[in-house]
Amino acid sequence: MVKDYGKKNLIRSDIHQSGQVLKPKKDDKKKNRRELLKKGILFILLLVFIFCIYMAILIRGGPEIILTRYGRIADEFSGKGLLVRSEEVIYAPYPGRVTLFVKEGERCPAERPILRLEGSGGVKTFYSRKAGVISYQVDGLENTLNPDILDDIVEQDYKYFRGKLIKITDGDRVNAGRPLFKIVDNFILYLLVEAPASQVFRYEVGEKIWATFDGLTIVGWITKILDHQNLFIIKLERFPIEMINKRWVDVTIMTNAYTGVYVPRKAITKKGDEFGVYRVVDDTPVFYPISQKGGNELYVVVTGIGRGVEILANPEKDLVKYSK
């Protein structure tokens, strides 16, 4: 008979010298794990608290010091632009079928045959009344948005001008009163754009600008500024044919671009009659006069100081900290 010594030894190992059987204490193990978890969480929270205190001291405790940089600063803003053209719409006097003689976007001289209408009123050929670009697409705003009535347009909220584009193709049947085509003067194009209220004061009527939209950059001039609407009326120098049917565009308006050493506008302060920045020399702020070439709402290109120089980011606030 083979004796089961392993089982016997196992049983004996669970017997205390006093004769009592020792059972594993599962509750004690769970309690220990919970205690360790609590201590771990408290330790992490303590670290986060110490880090927050350190950052608060770092931010509030000392002045903010920055380096002057070299680069290009553009004086610009972006927004929604509304295109205004000089255009004339021709309507169908009676229902019928149309035959087109001119391609969309083609520039025609005066008295050029544009299309033929065959219907209940007979056969009629329509000619261009003046030279211009022909389009068979209209949005219903042609008579409202016209350069001749720009002064009336600005009294309204220009954002609400929304047209519905309709067009005809060769062989279409049209009803009486339906727009057939329009003649666009491709030498006149205006742009209405709203500027940020904080920047309007920096622009003047007659100022030259560069308008960038739909991958194009076009020179223009500000012809009127409506301060109460922050609205600029801009006459563009040229008329891209791609814009004969476009009404709203995402546009960036730029007046100037400057290259050189630049600093934040808030870093510039005035001392007596001079403008300047405060350099930090041996942990001491020293006023250095500078000249301003130009910039935008946030940054200014300056002369009189090199790049990579430590200056106070906000002297009005930071100088107080040095005096303490």
What is the predicted pLDDT for the residue at 2? 45
For 137-196, the pLDDT digits (tens) are: 999 999 888 898 887 776 567 778 888 899 999 999 999 999 999 999 999 999 999 888
**Torsional sign, CA 8, 10, 16, 21:** negative
Mean pLDDT, residues 219-239 taken together: 90
Neighbours of 22 (CB within 10 A): 9
Write down the pLDDT at residue 41.
81
* Secondary structure letter of residue 93 according to DSSP: S
The residue written with tokens 């939209």 in the block is: 213
Quick one: CA dihedral 216, 217, 218, 224, positive or negative? positive
Q: Encode pLDDT of 211-220 as tens digits.
A: 999 999 999 9
In 3D space, the residue among 135, 248, 242 whose CA is nearest the CA of residue 184 turns out to be 135
Q: Where residue 127 falls among pLDDT bands split at 50, 70, 90?
A: very high
Residue 9 scores a pLDDT above 70 = no
Residue 249 corresponds to which tokens in the numbers above? 């565009």
Residue type, 52: C
Contact assessment for residue 87 and residue 185, using Cβ atoms and an 8 Å cutoff? yes
What is the Cα–Cα distance from 76 to 199, expressed in whole angstroms?
Answer: 9
Mean pLDDT across the stretch 198-222? 91
**Domains defined for the chain, CATH in brackets:** 65-73+258-323 (2.40.420.20), 77-257 (2.40.50.100)
The tens digit of pLDDT for each residue in 10-56 reads 444 444 444 444 455 556 666 677 777 777 787 788 888 787 766 65
The pTM for the full model equals 0.69
pLDDT single digits (tens) 53-68 = 666 555 555 678 899 9
Decide: helix, strand or coil at residue 130: coil
What's the pLDDT tens digit per position in 96-120? 999 999 999 999 999 999 999 999 8
